[in-house]
Structure 1
Amino acid sequence: MSISREDIEKVAVLARIRVDDAQISALESDLGNILNLVDELSAADTENIEPLSHPLDAVQRLRADEVTETNRREAFQAIAPATEDGLYLVPRVIE
């Protein structure tokens, strides 16, 4: 499969990329090679191949989702410069 010069120019406009004429000829060749590789991969027979969720069938050990620290909100907000109704007040950055 090949890609035309017009296709490359159209994609460049859509992607807002400036492509020189010298680059277009190189891109035609490179993108053509990539598309040929995709065609080769598409031709592979995968009829009796089952999909894998993980190539090594590894299982991740998970810990129990339990609270392990005490609530220290009061202590942290006591040293904050400004708080209100349990929230930290910060200076306005955007006008």
Structure 2
Amino acid sequence: MSLDADTIRRIAMLARIRVGEDEVAKLQGELNGILAWIEQLNEVDTDGVTPLSGASRLALRMREDAVTDGDIRDKVLANAPERIGPDGAFFAVPKVVE
């Protein structure tokens, strides 16, 4: 299937999209490319393939909800330009309130 310039203008009008005459040729190429891709997908043999019913019926594995600090403080602070506090455990930031 191939779309002509008049069809592109009609699609734009139905979608309420302002399309200039200089853009019609570009959109025609893009939409024809999309339709060619869809035609290529229609050639795929899907006989015997069960359609997905959705992910809502899948059960997720449960895990214990535990709060941790990640235990990677040194990795996080490795790029800090300046560290303060006991053992350099905090970022030093400039004062923002005068």
TM tier relative to shorter chain:
0.5 to 0.7
Q: Which ranges in structure 1 are unaligned for 5 or more consecutive residues? A: 62-95
2: CA distance, partners of 1:59 / 1:7: 47
Provide Cα deviations, 1:60-86, integer angstroms capped at 9, x if missing partner: 58xxxxxxxxxxxxxxxxxxxxxxxxx
Calculate percent identity across the aligned residue pairs: 35
Q: Which residue of 2 aligns with 1:53?
A: 53
Q: Which residue of 2 aligns with 1:44?
A: 44
2: CA distance, partners of 1:15 / 1:39: 23
SS at match of 2:8: helix
Q: Which residue of 1 aligns with 2:65?
A: none
CA RMSD of aligned residues (A): 2.1
| 1:14 corresponds to 2:27 | no
1: CA distance, partners of 2:18 / 2:54: 40
Alignment of 1:46-85 (within 5 A): 46-54=46-54, 58-60=58-60
| 1:33 corresponds to 2:33 | yes
Q: Which of 1 and 2 has higher RCO (CA within 8 Å, sep 6+)?
A: 1
Q: Cα offset for 1:46?
A: 0.5
Provide Cα deviations, 1:11-62, integer angstroms capped at 9, x if missing partner: 111222111111100001000000000000011100111112247x83258x
Q: Which ranges in structure 2 are unaligned for 5 or more consecutive residues? A: 62-98
